[in-house]
Amino acid sequence: MLKLINDNNCGWIKDLNPRVNIKTLSKNQNCDFLIVGAGYTGLSAARKLGEIYPNKNITLVDAQLAGEGASSRNSGYLVDATLNDGFTSDRDLENYKKKTDIYKLGIEAVKKFIQEYQVDCDFNECGKYYASSKFEDKKILENFSKVLSNLDFENELLSNKDLKKILGTDFYNVGLYTKGGILLHPGKLVRAMINALPNNVNLFENSFLNNWKINNGKIICEFEKGIIKSKKIIFATNGFLKSLGIKKNYNFPLTLTASMTRPLTTKEYLDIGSPKEWGVLSVRPMGATVRMTKDKRILIRNTAEVSNPFKMTKLELDKRAAIHRIGINKRFPQFPNDIIESTWSGVVSRSRNSSQIFEKLDNNVFVAGCYNGSGIGVGTLFGEQIAIKAANETSEEIKIIEKKKKPTWLPPTFFLDIGVKTRLMYERLRSISDI
Ligand SMILES: Cc1cc2nc3c(=O)[nH]c(=O)nc-3n(C[C@H](O)[C@H](O)[C@H](O)COP(=O)(O)OP(=O)(O)OC[C@H]3O[C@@H](n4cnc5c(N)ncnc54)[C@H](O)[C@@H]3O)c2cc1C
C-alpha cells in the first residue's frame, strides 16, 4: 500500500507550534463534498464551500498533517510574474498577459484572506530580484524587462554594485528588480488557513486516499480505515494528481529541496551590510532561489528533479543539502560550513506548457492544481474558485481563469521520464554557475 512519508526537518514548519486534536478517518462517512488534499488549494476550497453551504457536510482529507506538504515547504514568493514561465520576448505577449492576470488575482485572493482573518504571515511587499552571476544573462534580463514594461510591471535593471549593496553578496553580476512581488512565511499562511476552516468542514489527517470510483453517480473513496461516499469531489493534491490518475497525461510531479540557515549573528549580519529582507529568483530555470528572511536566515532552493514523490530518504536529502551548502558558500564564503539548520523536500506539479489545471472532469468531479512552482497565490485563488464551480456557480475570476491555455498532452511515463530528465540535466548544466 502506498504511503506518503515526509521528512521532519522543514525550517518553516519548525517555526510553528505543533498542532493538537488531529482526527484520522477511522470509520465510513457520507458527505456532500469531499476535498482531497489540504494545502492552499484544498483549504481554500473547503473554506469557500463552507461559506456557500453552511448547512452541508463538507469533508477535507489529507494523507499527512494538513498544510505540511508543499504549502509549508516552499520558498514563500508570492509572484506577480516569473521569468521561468518562458515569456522573454513580446512574441506571445497576449498569452503572458492572461497568465499574469491570474497571478494578480492570486495575490488579491491571498491579500483578502489575510486581511479578513488578520493573519500574520510576515507579508512583505518588497518586490523581488532576478539575478545571475553570468554577464551573458544580461540579454535575457533586458528582454524580460521590455516584456514586463509592456505589461505595466515596474522594473529596473541592476548592476553588480547595486546588487551587492542590496543583497550583501557580490556573487551576482546582472539583475532585474520587479516591484510587485511579495515575500511571506508559507507555513504561517497555510496554518492560518487551517485555523480559518468553517465549523461544517470535517478535517481528517493522516488519511491517505488509496482508490476512488464513481458508482451510480456517487463517488466512493477508499482509505485505509474507512470509505467516504460523497456527492461531489474536488481533487487538490497537486504533485499527487498523477498518482491518483487525475489528468495523468497532462501533469507530472517534480521534487524540489531547500535548506535554511540559522539566523545570522549580529556580526555576520553587519559584515554583509545589514541588508533588508530580500528574495532572488534565478535567471535560468535550474539556478538557485535564495532568500534573506525577515529574521535574517538564508534560504536556498537549488534542486528540482524527477524522483519518487512519496519519499526522499535521509541519504538522498543529505546529498541535496551538500548542494545547498555549495550554493550558500558561493554567495557567502565567509559563513561557517555548518550554518545550515534545516533541509527538506517538497513535491510540485508541472505541465509541459506551464499551464495550470482548473477543470470539471465529470459531472461531480473537479480538479485544481499544477501551478508549476507558483502555487501560493494561484493555489489560493483556484481553491476558492473551483469550490464556486463545484457549487454550480460562476464568477468573474472563473471567466479570467478559463481564458488561459490548457496544459498540453505529455508522452507516456517512460518517454516522459527520459525527456524530463534530459531537459533538467541540460538546464542544470546551463545553470551550473548559479546553483
Ligand atoms: C521547495 C519548494 C519551493 C517552492 N517555492 C514556491 C514559491 O516561492 N512560490 C510559490 O508560489 N510556490 C512555490 N512552490 C510551489 C507551491 O508550494 C505549491 O504550488 C503549492 O503549495 C500547491 O498547493 P496545493 O494545495 O495545491 O498542494 P500541496 O500543498 O502539495 O497539497 C496537496 C496535499 O495533498 C495531499 N495528498 C496527496 N496525495 C494524497 C492522497 N492520496 N490522499 C490524501 N491526500 C493526499 C498531500 O499530503 C498534500 O498535503 C514551491 C514548492 C516547493 C516544494
Distance from chain centroid for Cα 187: 12
pLDDT-derived band at 267, boundaries 50, 70, 90? very high
Mean pLDDT, to the nearest integer, of 264-286?
96
Mean pLDDT, to the nearest integer, of 363-370?
97
Mean pLDDT, to the nearest integer, of 109-134?
98
Mean pLDDT, to the nearest integer, of 97-116?
96
In short, whether 237's Cβ falls inside 6 Å of ligand 1 is yes
In short, whether 376's Cβ falls inside 6 Å of ligand 1 is yes
- pLDDT of 83 reads 83
In short, whether 173's Cβ falls inside 6 Å of ligand 1 is no
In short, whether 61's Cβ falls inside 6 Å of ligand 1 is yes
Largest CA distance in the chain: 68
Lowest-confidence segment of 84-98, 99-113, 214-228, 296-310 by average pLDDT: 84-98
Burial (CB count <10 Å: 0-12, 13-18, 19+), residue 161 = exposed
Q: How large a percentage of the chain has pLDDT more than 90?
A: 87
pLDDT-derived band at 430, boundaries 50, 70, 90? confident
In short, whether 208's Cβ falls inside 6 Å of ligand 1 is yes
| pLDDT at 77 exceeding the cut of 80 | yes
Q: What is the DSSP string of 270-334?
A: HHTT-PPPEEEEESSTTS-EEEE-TTS-EEEEEEEE---TT---HHHHHHHHHHHHHHHHHH-TT
Mean pLDDT, to the nearest integer, of 274-298?
96
| pLDDT at 414 exceeding the cut of 90 | no
Q: How far, in Å, CA of 76 to CA of 123, rounded? A: 9
| Coil, strand or helix at 153 | coil
- pLDDT of 314 reads 95
In short, whether 70's Cβ falls inside 6 Å of ligand 1 is yes
- pLDDT of 91 reads 72
Q: Could you tell me which residues come within 8 angstroms of residue 145 by beta carbon, excluding any fewer than 6 positions away?
A: 155, 157, 176
In short, whether 371's Cβ falls inside 6 Å of ligand 1 is yes
Q: How far, in Å, CA of 435 to CA of 426, rounded? A: 14
Q: Could you tell me which residues come within 8 angstroms of residue 246 by beta carbon, excluding any fewer than 6 positions away?
A: 235, 237, 361, 367
Atom of ligand 1 nearest to the CA of 258: 1
pLDDT-derived band at 89, boundaries 50, 70, 90? low
Query: 39 CA distance to ligand 1 centroid (A)?
Result: 6
Q: How far, in Å, CA of 95 to CA of 151, rounded? A: 11
Nearest residue (CA) to ligand 1, atom 3: 74
Mean pLDDT, to the nearest integer, of 299-312?
94
Map grid coordinates 534580463 to a residue.
141
Q: Which of 74, 104, 225, 356 to mutate to test the pocket of ligand 1 (most atoms within 8 A of CB)?
A: 74
Cell numbers describing residue 311: 519519499
| pLDDT at 329 exceeding the cut of 90 | yes
Distance from chain centroid for Cα 35: 19
Cell numbers describing residue 102: 491570474
Mean pLDDT, to the nearest integer, of 46-68?
98
Q: Average pLDDT, whole number, for the chain?
A: 94
CA dihedral 371, 373, 374, 379 (to 10 degrees): 40
Residue range 160-202, pLDDT digits in tens: 999 999 999 999 999 999 999 999 999 999 999 999 999 999 9
- pLDDT of 151 reads 93
